[in-house]
Amino acid sequence: MTTSSPKHRPEERARPAANIGLPLEGDVSVHARAWIEAGARTYLGYGRVVLLERIDEHGSISAAARSMGMSYRHAWDLVESMNHLGGVPLVQTATGGSGGGGARLTEAGRAAVRLFRRLDGKLQEFRQEIAAELAELRARPEATDRRAEAK
């Protein structure tokens, strides 16, 4: 599992947080995003989990894709990727026709959604803790003095 953006090089990911260079100017916010990789490919991320939840809600990949403003082809490709990378299908599909097709989450799909939501919840709690600590650091008199000196 990778916890940093794939846009960053390994040496950038390893940089310690102490190098943020307080005092910081202007508004400061802390962001964090989780995803799970399998074989260096994205397995689950926020958008994929929303797609799984919408498939569960609508019973159809097509309807789920429409509800997200996504093409059916893209949604299908994401489902195929998740089903393949996980080793166990997350979505089970039924061929359309006179009786209609459809899709539903497997038990593994429901478990994957729960796991990701738990991971994301913990990450957001941690993000809020860090944001609060950063706000405390910025409110200290020495940080305020440094910001005034820098102007």
| Residues above pLDDT 90, as percent of the chain | 60
User: In the predicted model, is pLDDT for residue 29 greater than 90?
Assistant: no
Pairing of strands 102-105, 35-38: unpaired
Q: Where are the beta strands (DSSP E) in 14-99?
A: 35-38, 41-45, 91-94
In the block, tokens 């310690």 appear at 16
Q: How many CB atoms lie within 10 A of CB 90?
A: 23
6: confidence class by pLDDT, cuts 50, 70, 90: very low
Q: Is residue 66 part of a domain?
A: yes
User: In the predicted model, is pLDDT for residue 17 greater than 50?
Assistant: no
Half-sphere exposure of 112 (CA within 13 A, CB side): 29
The CATH number of the domain holding residue 55 is 1.10.10.10
User: In the predicted model, is pLDDT for residue 9 greater than 60?
Assistant: no
Q: At what angle do helices 107-139 and 141-150 cross, to 10 degrees?
A: 70
Phi-psi group of 91: left, alpha or beta (phi > 0 → left; psi -120 to 50 → alpha; rest → beta): beta
The chain-wide mean pLDDT, for the chain, equals 83
Widest CA span in the chain: 74
Q: Is residue 83 part of a domain?
A: yes
The string of pLDDT tens digits covering residues 70-96 is 999 999 999 999 999 989 999 999 987
State the Cα–Cα distance between residues 95 and 82, nearest whole angstrom. Answer: 19
Tokens of 116: 């990701």
Q: Is residue 141 part of a domain?
A: no
Q: Is residue 50 part of a domain?
A: yes
User: Is pLDDT larger for residue 142 or for residue 61?
Assistant: 61
Q: Is residue 133 part of a domain?
A: no
Instruction: Report the number of distinct structural domains present in the chain.
Output: 1
Q: Are 51 and 68 in contact (CB under 8 A)?
A: yes
